[in-house]
A and B are shown apart, each in its own frame.
Chain A
Amino acid sequence: MDPILEIRHLDVDYGLGDRAVRAVRDVSLTLHRGEVLGLAGESGSGKSTLAYGLTRLLAPPGVISGGQVIYHPASGEPYDVLSLSDNGLRQFRWAETAIVFQGAMNSLNPVHKISTQLTDVLKAHEPSMSEHTRQARAREMLKLVGISPDRMDAYPHQLSGGMRQRVMIGMALILQPQVVIMDEPTTALDVVMQRQILGQLIELRERLGFSVIFITHDLSLLVEFSNRIAIMYGGRIVEEAPAATLYRDALHPYSKGLLSSFPALRGPRRELAGIPGSPPDLAAMPAGCSFHPRCPRAFEPCSVTIPVLGRPDATGRTVACWLHPSADAADSPGVSVASGEH
């Protein structure tokens, strides 16, 4: 599959100088054309920061301190989003990407009807479209996200949390972008609605061929709906694998812990394990693997040397954990330091 977006060694900090904390560390991740890439991980692990960073929507004190984000347009040469001019950036954002922010239910304009907000987006970006077509497209989008047509003229405060979330999803899709980034878009939706909207999204993706980065803490949802899943911990990607592989056989102890913390709806009630300990302090990250203080299987190299993601294996999996050193990482200086200490 062709890549559409390649994130290379991205670093994002909050603050400058010695007061800076690094919220995203050396993240490399590739989104392929037409795929749904799931991004999961602990609260505070940097998922939203990554999404803001790669679209250059970070608000101060957030700064991108390193890396590249290479975008491959449908036609033309690939370019680095991080070095676009303001004008180019505006173009990239609207025509090529759309992002549904976490907490987006709160970002609709309170003084306009939702139908107006949808048609205004069209008016601004597709000025040649007739009013009639705009209205029809807005209605179609709202129907797609399950909002009854008699509520089109409602104001945001007249809608439930989940309804506002759904309007935002419709808003993101209305311009038919190439890349859609969704940050916790379904936190207020019941599962019937979730399934339906995601089903529609997948169908639409097959029809229009866009790609999706789907951020959520809800791994079971990702396992069903995404092609690949990347797991973040402490600002880094710690494991990346095809969805089913990750579910059946997660390698990183953090991914494993995450999977076993799910309360099961079916079958016997079981005692839930959870992951003991608390998330790492960005201002004082543990040395070595940042998960080692909480890891049940930590051994010597873990507290000393940072495990890095190697090249994906034949199944497309890569993991940053000393229990599973990857073939190409074995030649890297990281390991020689670690093995020297045995």
Chain B
Amino acid sequence: MTSTQVVLEAIGLTKHFPVRRSLRQIFRKEHSAVHAVDDVHLTLRRGRVVALVGESGSGKSTVARLLAQLYPRTGGDIRLHGASTSVNGGRGFRAYAARVQMIFQDPFASLNPVHTIRYHLTRALKIHHNTGDDLEAALHELLGRVSLTPPERYLDKFPHELSGGQRQRVAIARALGARPEALLADEPVSMLDVSIRLGVLNLLRDLKERLNLAILYITHDIASARYFADETLVMYAGRMVEGGDSETVTQTPAHPYTRLLIDSAPDPDRLTGNAGELATDRGNGEPPSLIEPPTGCRFHPRCPMAMARCTTDLPVRIEIGDRPGHWAACWLYDQEKAASEGVA
């Protein structure tokens, strides 16, 4: 089955950023670091979309940047078609980038202000040797795909002449122009209004189907993950806490953080009193420190269900059992299993 062929894999991916130490720490020979990403596993397959959702600052962009080989990893492995890869700039990086493209979170920073849209897109297209008339036609097609029409209106503009959402679409067009096998899209539609957002997501879906593109879709819009992604993974404080097919994760979330996340999604029906109560957040939403992350389960200081072992033992991935492939890293499910076995 070609549609399930693995393109890109992260195995135990870890990234710690060293932080400057105070004199006292140097004196005591303490090393401190931001534990941005710890032991992350994920698999991107041809023609499939994996959504990555989670708290702001939980390490989503860092995962994408590591997969794009923009900086070295602290631990773990990245495999492209099964082969371990690590590239440090230069030609190796360009070859890698032709296969794995990234759309950056911030379209205000990712386009070079001194170059026109034409320049940005042409560079991407040239990776596959488009020239002359072909090139002009390809440029028009690219802009058409992201609803920047008519193309002549945008080609010779500079990034500052475009609105936020227009820039974001240029960034998407640029990534698509390189015709990658895997696309790492970091909040690609965050500045688009719903109707254009829908168009762009449909476009990505179409590309994944026609070109068998493997897509990592980082988003804070969980509803769009439900519609667009085959699989959804949830991160909290540098770790993966839940995963499974998107419908299951969004409709019957298992991990207490995922439940909080799903419950917090804006819901206009709350106004009319048709929505249920919000899940509780025991810690008043205080975000965790990543320099000294909480012991045991990193969510335990905020978790309404926390038990004694949660404060000491790091939860392992546990199959939930409602749907194949649905798992959560939470001790609640271990207990349930123990209880049901106990009864049996």
Question: Residues of A at under 8 Å CB distance from B?
Answer: 14, 40-44, 48, 59, 102-103, 105-106, 146-148, 150-151, 153-154, 158-163, 165-166, 184, 187-196, 217-221, 223-224, 243-244, 247-248, 257-258, 261-266, 269, 272, 274-275, 278-279, 281, 283
Specify which of B55, B166, B193, B267 is in contact with A190 (CB 8 Å cutoff). B55
A269-B271 Cα distance, complex, nearest whole Å: 22
A151 to B160, CA, bound (A): 32
Verify if B88 is at the interface (C-beta below 8 Å from A).
no
Kindly identify which residue among B194, B223, B260 contacts A258, using a CB–CB cutoff of 8 Å: B194
Interface residue from B187, B262, B285, B290 paired with A187 (Cβ < 8 Å):
B187
Indicate if the CB atoms of B220 and A43 lie closer than 8 Å.
no
- From A220, A243, A264, name the one whose CB has the most chain B CB atoms within 10 angstroms: A220
Q: Which among B105-113, B129-137, B322-330 touches the partner chain?
A: B105-113
Query: Are A160 and B57 closer than 8 Å at their CB atoms?
Result: yes
**Given A160-B57, A162-B56, A190-B261, A219 and B163 touching (CB < 8 A)?**
no
* A224 close to B267 (CB less than 8 A): yes
Closest 9 interchain pairs by CB?
A: A43-B165, A162-B56, A103-B108, A217-B193, A261-B194, A220-B266, A265-B223, A187-B190, A223-B268
Chain A residues with Cβ below 8 Å from B163 are 43-44, 48
Cβ contact within 8 Å between A190 and B164: no
Contacts of B60 in A (CB 8 A): 160
Are B292 and A163 touching (Cβ within 8 A)?
no
- B295 interfacial contact with A, CB 8 Å: no
Give the nearest-CB partner of A155 in chain B.
B20
Name 14 extra pairs, CB < 8 A, besides A265-B262, A266-B267, A269-B247: A43-B196, A148-B289, A160-B61, A161-B105, A162-B56, A163-B57, A192-B261, A194-B264, A195-B264, A217-B197, A219-B194, A223-B266, A244-B272, A261-B195
The closest CB in chain B to the CB of A276 belongs to B195
A265 with B267, Cβ < 8 A, contacts A187-B191, A190-B55 known = yes
Decide: A158 and B61 in contact? CB cutoff 8 A: no
B residues neighboring A (CB under 8 Å)? 17, 19-20, 34, 53-57, 60-62, 105-109, 147, 149-150, 153, 160-161, 163-166, 187, 190-199, 220, 222-224, 226-227, 247, 250, 260-262, 264-268, 270-272, 281, 285-292
Partner of B193, one of A42, A154, A243: A42
* A224/B270 in contact, CB under 8 A: yes
Given the complex of chains A and B, what is the CA–CA distance between A170 and B147 in angstroms? 35
Residue contact A43 to B193, C-beta cutoff 8 Å: yes
Closest Cβ–Cβ distance, residue B38 to chain A (whole Å): 15
Contacts A189-B220, A272-B198, A274-B195 hold; do A223 and B57 have CB atoms under 8 A apart? no
List 12 A-B pairs, Cβ < 8 Å: A14-B161, A42-B193, A43-B193, A59-B160, A106-B108, A161-B105, A165-B56, A190-B53, A217-B191, A224-B268, A274-B195, A281-B150
Q: Do A150 and B292 touch (CB < 8 A)?
A: yes
CB distance from B344 to the nearest CB of A (A): 35
Residues of A within 8 A of B197 (CB): 217, 261
Find chain A residues with CB under 8 A from B287 CB. 146-148, 193
Task: Output the least CB separation between A86 and chain B (Å).
Answer: 24
Residue on B nearest A270 in the bound complex, by CB:
B227
Say how far B82's CB is from chain A's closest CB, in angstroms: 31
Distance A154 CA – B33 CA, assembled complex (angstroms): 12
Which A residues are CB-close (under 8 A) to B226?
A: 263, 265, 269
Chain A nearest CB from B99 CB (Å) reads 25
A172 CA to B220 CA in the complex, in Å? Answer: 23
**A243 to B270 Cα, complex, angstroms:** 13
Bound Cα distance from A262 to B193, whole angstroms: 10
What is the distance, in angstroms, from A269's C-beta to the closest C-beta of chain B? 7
B285: A residues at CB distance < 8 A: 146, 192-193, 196
Q: Least Cβ distance of A110 to chain B in Å?
A: 11
Contacts of A41 in B (CB 8 A): 193
Asked whether A103 lies within 8 Å of B107 as measured between CB atoms, the reply is yes
A102 lies within 8 A of B194 (CB):
no
Say yes or no: A42 contacts B106, CB within 8 Å.
no
In the complex, what distance in Å separates the CA atom of A254 from the CA atom of B19? 50
Contact B56 A163 (CB under 8 A): yes
Known contacts A43-B165, A148-B287, A190-B53; A106 and B106 CB within 8 A of each other: yes
Query: In the complex, are the beta carbons of B288 and A48 less than 8 A apart?
Result: no
Q: Is the CB of A188 within 8 A of B190?
A: yes
Cα A42 to Cα B199 in complex, Å, equals: 13
B227 touches A247 (CB 8 A): no
User: Within the complex, what minimum Cβ distance (angstroms) separates A316 from chain B?
Assistant: 16
Contacts of A161 in B (CB 8 A): 56, 61, 105-106, 187
CA distance A19 to B17 in the complex (A): 50
Give the complex CA separation of A189 and B60 in angstroms: 12
Query: What residues of A have a CB within 8 angstroms of the CB of B187 in the complex?
Result: 161, 187-188
- What chain A residues lie within 8 Å of B166 (beta carbons)? 43-44
Q: A220 to B192, Cβ gap below 8 A?
A: no
Is the beta-carbon distance between B192 and A218 smaller than 8 angstroms? no
Known pairs A43-B164, A150-B291; A158 contacts B266 (CB<8 A): no
Q: How close is B77's CB to chain A, nearest CB, in angstroms?
A: 24
Q: Contact at B191–A102, with CB atoms within 8 Å? A: yes
A190 near B198 (CB under 8 angstroms)? no
Q: Are A189's CB and B267's CB within 8 A?
A: no
B196 A42 Cβ-Cβ under 8 A:
yes
Taking a contact as CB atoms under 8 Å apart, the answer to whether B220 and A188 are in contact is yes
Contacting residues, chain A, for B288 (C-beta < 8 A):
148
Q: Which residues of A contact B53 (CB under 8 A)?
A: 190
**Given known contacts A147-B287, A161-B61, is B266 in contact with A218 (CB within 8 Å)?**
yes
**Complex-state Cα separation, A48 to B289, whole angstroms:** 34
Q: How far is the CB of A264 from chain B (nearest CB, A)?
A: 6
B271, A223: Cβ atoms under 8 Å? yes
Chain A residues with CB below 8 A from B199, complex form: 274
Measured between C-beta atoms, what is the minimum distance from A249 to chain B in Å?
12
- Among B20, B190, B227, the residue within 8 A (CB) of A269 is B227
Chain A residues near B147: list those with CB within 8 A.
278-279
Q: Can you name the residue of chain B whose Cβ is closest to the Cβ of A161?
A: B105
